């Protein structure tokens, strides 16, 4: 069997509502002989694990692991099971557009020596992933934290074009994932605490001009209208405002 060039590495937690459409979007766009798909399910409480296993039975290039893990740790576990020269990171609550095929083709033609992150879809040479130590054990900002390590060695590029549609409930976008209806109130609280812990760990990047970081390293593949915004760390609240910040967030959890 020929070794695949592309390794899709991802994690999943309680995304049963989106999994089938997500998987179908990937498998309808890419030739199954060219890639492997490795997913680590974080002990989902919904029907995710069954959906993943059922899909894998019909697709020999897919592997499903079950581990209790953070987002970053899970993706690193998936990476360790992979063999492809290029690692692609996707989200299981995202349905991908056909342009991701063109994005990958243009990347392989023009920037195979770099990591390139589009919106919701990133591709990383295996040697770069290994050289910076892979994904860190973060639940929030795990992607951003790795981008910064790659940027520091001069091998990171960004492509500010949307590659898919995220089907997460609108109130739980980005760092507000802890408010998702996928979690009960106790888990929302524990995830909020983990978010705050991860934010403190990312505080060291707050002094950077992050807009300049990505814009000065942006590439253009001509596949769509680029967005003006890409990323930034969520600023850590001032020490004196922490009690009010926590009370407001806990109130959101209790009333969501």
Dihedral, CA of residue 147, residue 153, residue 155 and residue 160, to nearest 10: 40
Q: Identify each DSSP E strand in the chain by its residue range.
A: 6-12, 35-41, 62-66, 86-89, 94-96, 115-119, 121-125, 156-162, 164-166
Q: Over the stretch 85-134, which tens digit does the pLDDT of each residue have?
A: 999 999 999 999 999 999 999 999 999 999 999 999 999 999 999 999 99
Does a structural domain hold residue 119?
A: yes
Does a structural domain hold residue 89?
A: yes
What's the maximum distance between 2 C-alpha atoms anywhere in the chain? 60
Q: Over the stretch 139-182, which tens digit does the pLDDT of each residue have?
A: 888 999 999 999 999 999 999 999 999 987 665 566 577 778 78
Cβ-count burial 231-256 (b if 16+ within 10 Å, e if not): bebbeebeeeeeeeeeeebeeebeeb
Does a structural domain hold residue 179?
A: no
Q: Over the stretch 54-85, which tens digit does the pLDDT of each residue have?
A: 999 999 999 999 999 999 999 999 999 999 99
Does a structural domain hold residue 192?
A: no
The CATH number given to whatever domain includes residue 157 is 3.90.550.10
Does a structural domain hold residue 47?
A: yes
Phi/psi of residue 155, nearest 5 degrees: -125, 20
Does a structural domain hold residue 24?
A: yes
Structure tokens that stand for 213 in this block:
């970081």
Does a structural domain hold residue 77?
A: yes
Q: Over the stretch 12-53, which tens digit does the pLDDT of each residue have?
A: 999 999 999 999 999 999 999 999 999 999 999 999 999 999
- CA-to-CA distance for 101 and 164, rounded, in angstroms? 12
- Please give the pLDDT value at position 242: 55
Confidence of residue 207 (pLDDT cuts 50, 70, 90): confident
Range of the domain at 59: 6-168+209-229
Q: Count of domains in the chain? A: 1
Confidence of residue 229 (pLDDT cuts 50, 70, 90): confident
Does a structural domain hold residue 238?
A: no
């Amino acid at each position: 069997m020929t070794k695949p060039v592309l390794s899709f590495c991802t994690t999943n937690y309680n995304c049963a509502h989106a999994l089938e459409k997500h998987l179908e979007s990937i498998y309808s766009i890419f030739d199954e002989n060219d890639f492997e798909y490795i997913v680590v399910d974080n002990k989902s409480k919904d029907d995710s694990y069954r959906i993943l296993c059922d899909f894998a039975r019909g697709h020999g290039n897919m592997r499903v692991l079950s581990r209790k893990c953070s987002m970053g740790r899970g993706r690193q576990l998936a990476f360790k099971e992979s063999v492809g020269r290029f690692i692609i990171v996707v989200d299981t609550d995202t349905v991908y557009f056909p342009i991701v095929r063109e994005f990958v083709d243009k990347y392989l033609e023009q920037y195979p020596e770099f990591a390139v992150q589009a919106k919701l879809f990133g591709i990383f040479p295996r040697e770069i992933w290994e050289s910076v130590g892979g994904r860190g054990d973060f639940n929030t900002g795990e992607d951003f934290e790795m981008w910064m390590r790659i940027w520091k060695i001069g091998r990171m590029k960004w492509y500010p074009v949307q590659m898919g549609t995220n089907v997460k409930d609108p109130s739980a976008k980005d760092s507000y994932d802890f408010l998702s209806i996928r979690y009960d109130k106790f888990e929302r609280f524990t995830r909020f605490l983990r978010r705050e812990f991860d934010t403190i760990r990312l505080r060291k990047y707050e002094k950077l001009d992050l807009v300049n970081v990505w814009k000065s390293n942006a590439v253009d593949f001509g596949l769509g209208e680029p967005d003006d915004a890409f990323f930034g760390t969520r600023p850590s609240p001032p020490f004196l405002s922490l009690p009010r910040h926590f009370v407001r967030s806990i109130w959101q959890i209790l009333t969501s």
